Structure 1
């Protein structure tokens, strides 16, 4: 069996672009929708209004997440392209200075001077711009997210996250809708926290506790606001 097959490695950093957008979208979809619906339910609204609130929250949130993620990642990509172009021009204008600059980076990382110069010479012969982009600017394929991919992942995951509380409102009687939504939200937050940690290669328990704690606080605050609003209006 080839060595590569025996010792194949899986690095979670390659998932950062889509994982960040998907986890953020799902958590935001679940928490935003649940909080909105819990707040409206605490104001003693009817089931139809609670469901309408959930639908509106899911649609508006998904579009907002997609647009925000696309703009954010596009701005990052534009900045990276501008930096790469500046580096390309600097390589054309003064390749010797750029080579010394790259060698200094390798020396700082622990390579002997002679070896650092050899490495720079070899990498520059292969693709000088790639070497400077990776080691001087810190820009790699795995660190750069795709704007459209991030936008789609955010919108889809927001929609997926918003469905559990909405489905709960459709199935549970009005008398228990508030607590049912809250319970389903907490359970789903725990699942999302575990899944996000698992896929990202991080410890599971801290991920679960983090999302459940802050999610519960968010729902408690919105429920309190809804209750106060109902009491004031009443």
Structure 2
């Protein structure tokens, strides 16, 4: 579910940033080649930036989790009794009686002490550490797919309809993204859609005004 929500947010970013860019350029010129160049440049810059940022973020998180696991492994090797007592306290804090918590801690320790401490103490799944390459690729793809909509919407219609078609297509797409995002997060749909659509409309209005001003 988290990866789906991240994909929706990445596509949303691609829609808004690319729409603002191409609508701004459309306010300054009717040249299809200029729109294509600006749109493709914005798409690539945005998707690569998103991918790089996600890679760095997830890599830092993964390094931190690996360091925590290594420290826990060392503590288990140096003082297993203290770690067993700690695991017992963690289980007791979750509602188990002292005797049951001790028995459960002993069984978990015999089965896989590091995994038990990683889950209960650190909140880490040792076999489920995030892959930075997967995260970067997902961000790149989500942003690219989102950016393609305003790019195609500004290029395909005749000059007089480019901006209106793009605005309508973008606002509909943002309403859909807001609906999906609200559903995934359990938030009120109306507020999420309004916030999403209003932000996209404002971005396009500002960049179009700047484009018109520069173009004239």
- Per the TM superposition, whether the score is higher than 0.5 is yes
Q: Give distance in 1, aligned partners of 2:171 and 2:121.
A: 44
In structure 2, C-alpha distance between the alignment counterparts of 1:100 and 1:21, rounded to whole Å = 39
Equivalents in 1 of 2:117, 2:75: separation in Å?
A: 11
Query: What is the CA-CA distance between 1:80 and the residue it aligns to?
Result: 0.4
1:194/1:207 contact within 8 Å kept: yes
Contact conserved, 1:21 with 1:150, CA < 8 A, in 2?
no
Q: Quote the residue 1:104 is aligned against.
A: 89
Contact map agreement 2:118 2:126 (CA 8 A) in 1: no
Unmatched segments (≥5 aa) in structure 1: 1-14
Q: Is the 8 A contact 2:115 2:126 kept in 1?
A: no
Q: 1:152 to 1:79 in 2, by over 3 A?
A: same
User: Partners in 1 of 2:196 and 2:126 — Cα distance?
Assistant: 29
Asked if 1:195 is matched to 2:180, the reply is yes
CA distance in 1, matches of 2:174, 2:126: 31
Match of 1:53 in 2: 38
Distance 1:145 1:193 in 2: 26
Query: Is 2:159 aligned against 1:159?
Result: no
Instruction: Give CA deviations for 1:186-216 in whole Å, capped at 9, x if unaligned.
Output: 1111222333445x36357254334223222
TM-score relative to the length of structure 2 = 0.88
1:97-154 deviations in Å (ceiling 9; x for gaps): 1122222222222222111111111111111100110110011269743211111111
CA contact (8 A) 2:23 2:154 kept: no
Tell me how many residue pairs correspond in the alignment: 215
RMSD of equivalent CA atoms: 2.2
Q: Which residue of 1 aligns with 2:51?
A: 66
Matched, 1:117 2:102: yes
**1:74: Cα distance to partner?**
1.2
In the aligned structure 2, how far is the partner of 1:153 from the partner of 1:96?
43
Runs of 5+ consecutive residues of structure 2 not aligned to the other structure = none
